[in-house]
Amino acid sequence: MGTITAEHGTVKYVVKGATYFVKENFAPSVQVFKEALPSRRWRGIPETFFSNGPVEKLVSILGLGRCNMVSVRLASDMDLTPEEVEELKRLVGPTFYFSRSAYDYTPDKLPFDDPELAKGYQTAFDILVRNWDDGEDNMALVGGVPVWFDFGVSLDPRCQNVYRFIMKLEEARRLGRVSTIVSYFMDYTRRRSQILKRAVQSLQSIQKSEIRSAVRISEVPMPAYFAEYISRGLDCLLEDIDIIRGAFLRENVEKREIHMTMHITP
């Protein structure tokens, strides 16, 4: 039995020395799930930030051990007592899931204790799962090393197209939510290029059997869809990285040229 605390709208569950943030489980507000909606609402579904336990768990299963990411667990994973279930329903909502606190981790327990390596592998992974909301708001520093959490916007079918994903990255940046992907390419170096190559090799070692297992364990709706999404993403990962890098690296070069011109012109 764990300890439940609620403060300023944030609910935490502490059990066996681990701290979890308890999040309400919302159905993803994306077109692929439109069969669950009345036909009159199929069009014009507003895009919102959403939390969906199975989607976040799927992303965390694939990322754990490959990136500095927190683990995500469903309510069925937690061995809750009936009293705890009722209390969490009252505090959070009818359905909920658990995201491990980033501060439970220490650099020696993470895949990378080098911030540059951590950012490079996270950049490659977030391009794979189309997580554009991976900036400072969804990242914590533990011992100077970044750890990422909140993967709810991942695997949106509208972002499968790499150019639409770039538009989401741009839109988020305009709103002040600068992605790790954008910041990584805006300050690009030879070392960062080498890190990305190693990250891609690591991710492309993921076998289809592992994807099928992750999809099954995460209990995502429409499992075949999500398995296909990830498989296609792995096939296109190098090309997608080149396209996204080109978009933001070009902007960075243009800014440098303008800066140099301003200082050279008498």
pLDDT of residue 221: 84
Distance CA 152, CA 133 (A): 9
**Is residue 4's pLDDT more than 50?**
yes
The pLDDT tens digits for 171-228 are: 999 999 999 999 999 888 999 999 999 999 999 999 999 999 999 999 998 899 999 9
Q: Which two tokens stand for residue 126?
A: 């977030």
**Is residue 115's pLDDT more than 90?**
yes
What is the band of 265 on the pLDDT scale with cuts at 50, 70, 90? very low
Distance CA 50, CA 155 (A): 12
**Is residue 246's pLDDT more than 60?**
yes
What is the band of 1 on the pLDDT scale with cuts at 50, 70, 90? confident
pLDDT of residue 50: 58
The model's pTM: 0.86
Mean pLDDT of the chain: 87
Which amino acid is it at 159?
C
Mean pLDDT, residues 63-68 taken together: 96
**Is residue 250's pLDDT more than 90?**
no
CB environment 190-199: b (16+ within 10 A), e (fewer):
eebeebbeeb
Alpha carbon separation from 62 to 19, 134, 153, 225, 254 (Å, rounded): 21, 16, 15, 16, 36
CB environment 72-95: b (16+ within 10 A), e (fewer):
bbbbeebebeeebeebbeebbeee
